[in-house]
């Protein structure tokens, strides 16, 4: 059975569990996951007996080629008119919609135009399926991560005092694009010195200065799937404080990599790293979760965080990225992508983790 056919069959079981006739899929990543269609516009309706992809004139040929398990329907000026016709044709009385995706305005339109159809808010039906990756998905993520590894090796030969953070980010992006990435997976973080204390700092025109740590967070997209890696390096000789903080983060990450396995909860995985950082006296300086799922989106389920009760399963791909952030001073984060397995994890990231002094 084709991958999309298998996914359709699995989703149909969820429709039964939720007591709905069909699901309207609008999240772009979910649309691609369910259909194989890579275009930027389209609505998917899946019922027990029908699988329909509604898109516009621009994408009919592409959708026909990429989504052979779906009936392709072209919509006109108003997509909702076509949706109404499709629902009537296939006999949908209760339609589930992704409540965390559909806007208030869209809901108003659906409620007023889809006469006789009961709208039922649902959450996570496709996202739960996406949490566990098959080997083809894992291979795409591995290739994306390998591009990131190569970009990191490349930038180590390029970075020097006087370069701006933006110049470093652009060089990494250009390298990944030139070597096969569809695009970058997210805005590359290059955070030097005190900027490193901001976990999601934006690259600026600040120039690199000897004696500072530089946090690099980057990832490529390959066949729709993303890589995600973070490394922290020193420009020049690292100070004793910088090296001490780095070593704490590295110990926390290595302990998590050694301890994470299928069957544990996301909160338990987070706790492995959290305890080490807390015992070192920096618990308040590690304010984000240990990691998150990575796939068609760079942040997806499951979460490795204090509030996560999700049980990890074989085939889940998650980041493992503890950090310590000292406002006004420095930041250190080290991140790998791993595949959860029964006895541990398989690490997809190959970049070195000893503190590199450039």
Phi-psi region of 329 (alpha: psi -120 to 50; beta: other; left: phi over 0): alpha
Domain end residue (candidates: 81, 101, 129) = 129
Provide the domain limits for residue 13.
Answer: 3-129
* CA pair distance 144, 336, nearest whole angstrom: 13
- Torsion sign, CA atoms 15, 1, 300, 51: negative
78-82 long-range contacts, CB within 8 A, separation 24+ = 79/43, 79/54, 80/109, 80/110, 80/113, 80/114, 81/113, 82/54
Report pLDDT for 76: 87
- Specify the pLDDT at position 2: 78
**Residue 173 sits in the same domain as residue 305:** yes
Q: Does residue 354 fall inside a structural domain?
A: no
Residue 355: inside a domain, yes or no? no
CA 357 to chain centre: 30
Which ranges of 56-193 would DSSP assign to H, the alpha helix?
Answer: 60-66, 79-90, 104-113, 125-131, 135-156, 165-178
Give domain status of residue 28, yes or no.
yes
Tell me the pLDDT of the chain averaged across its residues: 97
Q: Which two tokens stand for residue 61?
A: 């040929």
Count of structural domains within the chain: 2
Q: Are residues 137 and 116 in the same domain?
A: no
Identify whether 358 is part of a domain.
no
Say yes or no: 114 and 150 in one domain.
no
Shared-domain flag, residues 122 and 152: no
What is the C-alpha R_g of the chain?
Answer: 23
Residue 13: exposure state from Cβ atoms within 10 A (0-12, 13-18, ≥19):
exposed
User: 81 near 75, Cβ under 8 Å?
Assistant: yes
Judge whether 356 lies within some domain.
no
User: What pTM, to 2 d.p., does this model score?
Assistant: 0.95
Kindly state the average pLDDT of the residues 127-137.
97
Indicate if 203 and 318 belong to the same structural domain: yes
Q: E strands, 263-307, where?
A: 291-293, 300-304
Where residue 174 sits, what CATH number does that domain have?
3.90.230.10
Strand (E) or helix (H) holding 184: strand 183-184
Please give the Cα distance from 165 to 183 (Å, whole number): 19
Average confidence (pLDDT) over 79-98: 97
Q: pLDDT for 325-351, tens place per residue?
A: 999 999 999 999 999 999 999 999 999
Co-location of 89 and 137 in the same domain: no
Nearest alpha-carbon partner for 287 in 211, 351, 218, 199: 199
Same-domain pairing of 123 and 261: no
Do residue 328 and residue 315 come from a single domain?
yes
Q: Are both 225 and 316 inside the same structural domain?
A: yes
Shared domain for 82 and 154, answered yes or no, is no
- Rounded mean pLDDT, 124-133: 98
User: Are residues 193 and 338 located together in one domain of the fold?
Assistant: yes
Cα–Cα dist 129/166, whole Å: 37
For residue 197, being part of any structural domain is answered with yes
Residues 184, 310 within the same domain = yes
- Domain boundary (89, 110, 129) is at 129
Domain boundary among 129, 153, 173: 129
The model's pLDDT over 14-59, given as tens digits with 9 standing for 90+, comes to 999 999 999 999 999 999 999 999 999 999 999 999 999 999 999 9
Local structure of 163: helix, strand or coil: coil
pLDDT confidence band for 1 (50 / 70 / 90): very low
pLDDT tens for 90-111 read 999 999 999 999 999 999 999 9
Domain harbouring 16, CATH code: 3.40.350.10
Average pLDDT over residues 65-94: 96
Place of tokens 């969820």: 14
Whether residue 307 lies inside any domain: the answer is yes
Q: Report the distance separating Cα 147 and Cα 156, nearest Å.
A: 14
pLDDT digits (tens, 9 = 90+) for 290-302: 999 999 999 999 9
Residues 188-241 have pLDDT tens digits of 999 999 999 999 999 999 999 999 999 999 999 999 999 999 999 999 999 999
- Residue 283 inside a domain? The answer is yes
Distances (CA, A) of 151 to 158, 198, 290: 11, 22, 24
**Distance set, CA 199 to CA 169, 317, 348, 356 (Å):** 16, 21, 22, 20
pLDDT for position 25: 98
């Amino acid at each position: 059975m084709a991958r999309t056919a298998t996914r359709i069959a699995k989703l149909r079981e969820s429709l039964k569990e939720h007591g709905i006739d069909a699901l309207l899929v609008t999240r772009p990543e979910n649309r691609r996951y369910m259909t194989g269609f890579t275009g930027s516009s389209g609505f998917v309706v899946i019922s027990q007996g029908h699988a329909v992809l509604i898109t516009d004139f621009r994408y009919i040929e592409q959708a026909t080629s990429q989504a052979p398990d779906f009936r392709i329907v072209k919509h006109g000026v108003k997509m909702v008119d076509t949706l109404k016709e499709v629902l009537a044709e296939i006999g949908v009385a209760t339609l589930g919609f992704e409540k965390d995706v559909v806007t208030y305005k869209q809901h108003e339109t659906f409620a007023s135009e889809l006469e006789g159809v009961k709208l039922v808010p649902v959450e996570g039906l496709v996202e739960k399926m996406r949490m566990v990756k098959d080997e083809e998905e894992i291979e795409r993520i591995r290739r994306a991560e390998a591009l990131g590894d190569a970009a990191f090796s490349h930038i180590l030969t390029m970075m020097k005092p006087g370069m701006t953070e933006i110049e470093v980010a652009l060089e990494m992006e250009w390298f990944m694009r030139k070597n096969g990435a569809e695009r970058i997976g997210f805005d590359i973080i290059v955070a030097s010195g005190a900027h490193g204390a901001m976990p999601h700092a934006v690259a600026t025109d600040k120039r690199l200065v000897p004696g500072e740590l530089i946090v690099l967070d980057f990832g490529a997209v390959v066949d729709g799937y993303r890589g995600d890696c973070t490394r922290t390096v020193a420009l020049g000789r690292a100070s004793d404080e910088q090296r001490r903080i780095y070593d704490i983060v590295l110990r926390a990450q290595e302990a998590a990599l050694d301890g994470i396995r299928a069957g544990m909860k996301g909160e338990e995985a987070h706790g492995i790293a959290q305890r080490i950082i807390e015992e070192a006296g920096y618990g308040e300086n590690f304010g984000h979760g240990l990691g998150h799922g990575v796939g068609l989106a760079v942040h997806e389920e499951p979460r490795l965080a204090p509030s996560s009760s999700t049980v990890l399963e074989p085939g889940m791909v998650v980041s493992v990225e503890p950090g310590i952030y000292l406002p006004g001073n420095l930041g250190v984060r080290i991140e790998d992508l791993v595949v959860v397995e029964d006895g541990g994890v398989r690490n997809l990231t190959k970049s070195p983790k000893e503190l590199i002094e450039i």
